[in-house]
């Protein structure tokens, strides 16, 4: 494969990684008469997962690179999961600190509607978020932008800003929280280059408040 061909695949991958989630989300909201309906959400989430698989194909078949080039190392799953658990703890600490600051200023967050009306659909959404958002932003985009710019800080800043920005539907408190938690995930990835840990940590941060706590709430 020629260098120009590989570069073309990388450009296509970057466009996919940086724009796929907001584009699919906006398209889903514009086409569906009820974007909050379970069917609309399932179609949206499966579409994003499909595009995630397409990006993996770009890495392997288009660029001709191993998955380790986006931080996926399958030979150390146990260690990655342990790191992911610790990462989730750090993210929750940042989350609680942000919520405490919000409370001091009378800012209310997390009192709106749930992610979806069905718990299984919420589960699909948080699984997709943990996988796709990390593959897109921390894995592919950060790695490729760093290779092009020669600066991990520029790559980290660009991907973090775009990652936080696509949470605009949650209002500016949601964007701020996404930025703060995303900063933890990004700093960890820059340090360890372990995407599986980042995916697991991200998943836990969404899974516990959106799936586990509602289950306990329903049982009382």
Query: Which domain, by its residues, includes 54?
Result: 3-219
Count the Cβ atoms, other than its own, within 10 Å of residue 102: 16
pLDDT at 113 (0 to 100): 61
Instruction: Say yes or no to pLDDT of 170 above 90.
Output: no
Q: Do the Cβ atoms of 142 and 18 come closer than 8 Å?
A: no
Q: What stretch of H or E contains 37?
A: none
What is the distance between the alpha carbons of residues 166 and 94, in angstroms, rounded to a whole number?
A: 20
pLDDT at 6 (0 to 100): 84
User: Average of pLDDT values for 88-116?
Assistant: 85
Bigger pLDDT: 219 vs 19: 19
What is the distance between the alpha carbons of residues 168 and 216, in angstroms, rounded to a whole number?
A: 29
Task: Report how many domains make up the chain.
Answer: 1
Count the Cβ atoms, other than its own, within 10 Å of residue 185: 26
For the chain, how big is the Rg over CA atoms in Å? Answer: 18
pTM: 0.92
What is the distance between the alpha carbons of residues 167 and 173, in angstroms, rounded to a whole number?
A: 10
The helix-helix angle for 195-207 and 119-128 (nearest 10°) equals: 150
Instruction: Say yes or no to pLDDT of 77 above 60.
Output: yes
Instruction: Say yes or no to pLDDT of 4 above 70.
Output: no
pLDDT at 219 (0 to 100): 44
Report which of 142, 136, 147, 158 is spatially closest to residue 202, judged by C-alpha positions. Answer: 136
Query: 146 falls in which pLDDT band (50, 70, 90)?
Result: very high
3-state secondary structure of 154: helix
Q: Do the Cβ atoms of 152 and 34 come closer than 8 Å?
A: no
Q: How far is CA 59 from the centre of its chain?
A: 18
């Amino acid at each position: 494969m020629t260098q120009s061909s590989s570069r073309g695949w990388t450009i296509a991958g970057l466009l996919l990684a940086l724009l796929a989630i907001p584009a699919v989300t906006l398209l889903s909201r514009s086409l569906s008469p009820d974007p909050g309906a379970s069917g609309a959400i399932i179609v949206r989430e499966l579409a994003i997962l499909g595009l995630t698989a397409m990006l993996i194909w770009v890495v392997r078949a288009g660029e001709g690179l191993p998955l380790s080039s986006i931080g996926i190392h399958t030979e150390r799953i146990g260690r990655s999961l342990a790191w992911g658990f610790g990462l989730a703890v750090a993210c929750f600490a940042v989350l609680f600190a942000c919520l405490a600051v919000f409370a001091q200023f009378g800012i209310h967050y997390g009192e709106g509607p749930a992610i979806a009306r069905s718990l299984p659909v919420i589960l699909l959404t948080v699984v997709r978020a943990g996988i796709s958002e990390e593959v897109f932003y921390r894995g592919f985009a950060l790695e490729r932008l760093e290779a092009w710019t020669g600066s991990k800080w520029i790559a980290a800043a660009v991907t973090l800003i775009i990652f936080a920005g696509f949470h605009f539907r949650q209002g500016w408190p949601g964007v701020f929280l996404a930025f703060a938690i995303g900063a933890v995930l990004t700093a960890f990835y820059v340090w360890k280059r372990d995407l599986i840990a980042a995916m697991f940590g991200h998943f836990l941060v969404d899974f516990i408040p959106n799936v586990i706590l509602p289950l306990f709430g329903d049982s009382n």
